[in-house]
Amino acid sequence: MSSEFRIDSFIVDKILNPGYRSVRNVEEVNIRFINNSNDTVDLYWIDFRGNLVYYLKLGSRKVVKLTTFIGHYWIARFIRNGAAAQFLPGRTEVFAITRHLPHTAIVFITQKVPTLFEAAVEHIGELFYKQQYALYWLPVPELVKFDIYFYIRRKRIYQEALNFLSTSRNLLRPNHNNVRLQEPLEDDGAERREVENQVENIEED
């Protein structure tokens, strides 16, 4: 097994298996996700098997209001490179409400402040994205090359994984507001309402 294949397998596992599973529950909670970052994110629901279920794209400074259930997990990834966003408060990469709330929860989606090294890796990774094998001649330590290579591979693999997540595993049908959402096949009864919520994309004032 080649080292490139092992790296790709590791990246795929990190993207598709965040390590959390939603818990079945019938108690609803309302959330308003606000993308406070400068980039568009893909918002996913994590289903009862730990799989990502693509929900929608949320642009910078955009807001989406939805109804979910206690114990249901959500994750957001930046579309340009697949990196996980952070949810505030808490600064976590996954989000779930674990208790009843009498009001709508306000949750900010933000980007982790990178270290100087992380910012440099991302910048160089973008420069070498279309010619990753030119990294071999880059006059930097091998460990730094690996981090840059890892960034490039994650970005490329995420774009491929996004196509898969967007077109398979879920049925598509309009809810009562005629907003097309994706419905997990394994859900039934009250859990099907996970994707029958009211979605309102509005621009932040």
Q: Give the Å distances, CA to CA, from 176 to 56, 95, 130, 165, 197.
A: 17, 26, 43, 24, 8
Tens-binned pLDDT, residue by residue, of the chain (205 aa): 567 777 778 778 777 788 899 999 888 899 999 999 999 999 999 989 888 888 889 999 999 998 999 999 999 999 888 888 999 988 999 999 888 888 899 999 999 888 898 898 889 888 888 887 777 788 888 888 888 888 888 888 887 776 666 433 343 433 333 333 333 333 333 333 443 343 333 334 4
Residue 180, C-beta contacts closer than 8 angstroms, at least 6 positions apart: 172, 173, 174
pLDDT reported for residue 165 = 62
pLDDT reported for residue 33 = 95
The model scores a pTM over 0.85: no
Strands 52-58 and 73-78: unpaired
Residue 142 has what DSSP assignment? H
Domain range summary for the chain, segments of one domain joined by +: 18-112, 114-171
Beta bridge mates, 73: 46
pLDDT reported for residue 2 = 67
Angle between helices 142-167 and 3-16 (to 10 degrees): 50
pLDDT reported for residue 193 = 40
Tell me, what amino acid is at 188? D
Report helix, strand and coil shares of the chain as percent, to nearest 5. Answer: 35, 30, 35
Cis peptide upstream of residue 139 (ω within 30 degrees of 0): no
What is the DSSP code string of 44-69?
Answer: EEE-TTS-EEEEEEE-TTEEEEEEEE
pLDDT reported for residue 12 = 80
pLDDT reported for residue 139 = 85
pLDDT reported for residue 113 = 85
CB 86 within 8 A of CB 109: yes
pLDDT reported for residue 7 = 74
Instruction: Of 87, 8, 94, give the one whose Cα is nearest residue 47.
Output: 94
Classify domain 18-112 by CATH architecture.
Sandwich (2.60)
pLDDT reported for residue 31 = 92
